[in-house]
């Protein structure tokens, strides 16, 4: 038991170091995600945006889910929370494994959905995060399925980092792009309090009714919409990594504490058993001496 406690304490220390680094990267990256959301908000009044294929609203008969989990366990309910939230959203939409496609980032998501018969379009390990090329592949694949009407909605599921002790399973709609969904993302980006807290400004407060876009609205939107979706994917990966290390640190601390409690309990049992054996032996010796004396 003492060896187990030593291992869990070492894993706790490693996760704590990784957590601090991931937290700083995720929190500092939020400003870029917020700025990217504001870019689309400023052109939301454009008529071409509403008519753009990536913003087209239609009845949902099929869906694509980009599910971000970890490759490893030992992180409490981190992965199961995201997987349960995704399955619940699929059920609410009235879909099944014949009308849902999955892009799995992380082995836990791959194993979970493959075992349940969901078609996994792409799978990426989540050991060191996705490269920029891989993120472009994911977004291009999602945009292609959406514009070809193979998926009527594209959503991303991940753990949103709230604090060291709180991670929240979150689902956000990437396609069709909408201002209301962007405002929800921006609200999640900036923490309510702490070092990185800022004064929140609703994206609708900075809207301008018309813009003149060059070389043309369609050309500009074709360029910025996939990049904006890529920023959200990158932001979700940062949030997921910070959440993973935080959850694993807390889980390993809990395991270390439980191992210490069990070690204490087993030590007490051992001492009681040893004391009982010593008492029995002393009684036998005393009894033998009295018998010999008599």
Domains of the chain in start order, with CATH, are 11-250 (3.40.1380.10)
For residue 132, the model assigns a pLDDT of 79
Measured CA to CA, the distance from residue 275 to residue 84 in angstroms comes to 50
For residue 24, the model assigns a pLDDT of 73
pLDDT tens, 127-137? 766 777 888 88
Q: Residue ranges of the chain with pLDDT lower than 70?
A: 1-5, 7-9, 11-19, 22-23, 26-27, 29-30, 33, 37, 40-41, 43-50, 128-129, 179, 182-183, 185-214, 216-217, 294
Distance between first and last Cα of the chain: 49
Are residues 43 and 223 in contact, defined by beta-carbon separation less than 8 angstroms?
no
- Side-chain half-sphere exposure of 48, counting CA atoms within 13 A: 14
For residue 198, the model assigns a pLDDT of 54
For residue 201, the model assigns a pLDDT of 47
Q: Is the dihedral of CA 49, 52, 57, 62 positive or negative?
A: negative
Whole-angstrom CA distances from 40 to 33, 34, 43, 249 are 11, 10, 5, 37
């Amino acid at each position: 038991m003492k060896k187990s406690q030593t291992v869990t304490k070492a894993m706790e220390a490693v996760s704590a170091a990784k957590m601090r680094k991931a937290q700083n990267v995720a929190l500092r990256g939020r400003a870029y995600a917020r700025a990217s959301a504001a870019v689309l908000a400023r052109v939301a009044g454009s008529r071409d945006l509403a008519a753009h294929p990536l913003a087209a609203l239609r009845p949902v008969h099929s869906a694509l889910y980009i599910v971000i989990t970890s490759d490893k366990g030992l992180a409490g309910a981190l992965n199961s929370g995201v997987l349960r939230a995704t399955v619940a959203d699929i059920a609410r939409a009235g879909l099944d494994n014949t009308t849902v496609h999955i892009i799995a980032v992380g082995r836990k998501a791959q194993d979970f959905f493959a075992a349940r018969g969901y078609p996994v379009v792409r799978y990426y390990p989540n050991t060191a995060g996705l490269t920029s090329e891989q993120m472009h592949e994911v977004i291009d694949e999602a945009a292609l399925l959406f514009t070809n009407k193979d998926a009527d909605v594209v959503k991303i599921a991940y753990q949103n980092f709230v604090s060291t002790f709180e991670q929240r399973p979150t689902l956000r709609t990437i396609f069709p792009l909408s201002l209301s969904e962007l405002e929800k993302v921006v609200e999640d980006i900036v923490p309510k309090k702490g070092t990185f807290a800022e004064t929140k400004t609703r994206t609708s407060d900075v809207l301008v009714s018309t813009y003149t876009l060059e070389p043309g609205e369609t050309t500009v939107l074709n360029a910025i919409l996939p990049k904006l979706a890529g920023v959200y994917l990158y932001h979700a990966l940062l949030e997921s990594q910070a959440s993973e290390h935080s959850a694993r640190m807390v889980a390993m601390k809990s395991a270390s504490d439980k191992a210490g409690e069990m070690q204490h309990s087993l030590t007490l049992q051992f001492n009681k058993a040893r004391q009982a054996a010593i008492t029995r032996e002393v009684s036998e010796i005393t009894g033998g001496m009295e018998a010999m004396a008599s």
